[in-house]
Structure 1
């Protein structure tokens, strides 16, 4: 295995857009892991909720959003943790605002859950989005050798809020743990991008 911090240039066209999303030159193993892992977790979450469908009483639109978020966060955890994504998103030249912007746009997820699944609970949105932005800013300003333990501390704190201070959303008990795992741990935490010795 080798460590390579310099990613190749993204390809042209649609393939290039995909490269900029998951990182250029992902290995076949990474691609399969993202696909199978994302679909597998989504299937488990869906089957669990399907058993509670009468109590949840969701509309077709709500089920569609549930499936979209389940796959996005499940696949996103795996994708952002790959060496290819680490090499791409933490390449030389990436600035504070590049990472902060990537995280901040995910506030849409929180807003949709607060609106459609919690009856317009904007306190829920404000607490979690405020915590997300504050944690992101702190982590991005933290020295490298302290990032890992601080990331895990901040992630654990989000889990505590989810399990004690704010009741989990029915059918979305997994949402906050997956959401912060994707953004704080999988995306923001820089790790050495180990690569196979072969191209």
Structure 2
């Protein structure tokens, strides 16, 4: 198996197409550049810049990845349950990682962002399949509205909306 295919199967999903790779990696790199530029302009030091770049690559790229047909087939294959989906959301602890290094981003704000994503996931997977998509959009809109008034530094103002898009709108929605 080629190195590129192995990387794609880990970062995107088995069966990722050349178009998938182009969109996903372009989005990941553009999001990383944007987030890092905002953090640099805010005067953040090296450690926060590096961690922000890593988180941005994952979240921006993941928002595109989770919308691909390859990822939909992989994450929603037979045998996958609501526990897998909520578990996938639960492992996204990036808000807490950023609270460690970004001045002004409090543990409370990180916890609220994390819990909004988790609550949105639980609600979304708990409703009948025919309303999951509009419920996910509703949860995302409400979560963004609740997260925006938090004291989130402008350098990472993208965090909550991109996290919610990646997890609630892209990951939880089947083909």
Question: TM-score with structure 1 length normalisation?
Answer: 0.78
Query: Could you say which structure has the greater relative contact order, defined with CA pairs below 8 angstroms and 6 or more residues apart?
Result: 1
Q: 1:169 aligns with which of 145, 149, 153?
A: 153
Query: Residue 15 of structure 1: CA displacement?
Result: 4.7
Name the counterpart of 2:16.
Answer: 26
Q: If you compute each CA radius of gyration, which structure gives the higher value, 1 or 2?
A: 1
Deviation per CA, 1:127-177: give whole Å up to 9, x if none.
22222222211111211110111111110011111223x132230111111
Deviation per CA, 1:38-77: give whole Å up to 9, x if none.
2123223333444x2xxx3322111101111111111111
1:84 aligned onto 2:70: yes
Name the counterpart of 2:98.
Answer: 113
C-alpha distance 30-17 of structure 1, shift in aligned 2 (>3 A)? closer
Name the counterpart of 2:133.
Answer: 148
Moved over 4 A (4+): 11-18
| Equivalences for residues 57-72 of structure 1 within 5 A | 57-72=43-58
Q: Distance in 2 between matches of 1:118 and 1:58?
A: 8
Deviation per CA, 1:3-24: give whole Å up to 9, x if none.
xxxxxxxx79995574254221
Q: Distance in 2 between matches of 1:177 and 1:49?
A: 17
Name the counterpart of 1:136.
Answer: 121
Number of paired residues? 175
Q: Distance in 2 between matches of 1:13 and 1:57?
A: 37
Provide the aligned C-alpha RMSD in A: 2.3
Gapped regions of structure 1 (runs ≥ 5): 1-10, 193-199
Gapped regions of structure 2 (runs ≥ 5): none
SS in 2 for 1:171: helix
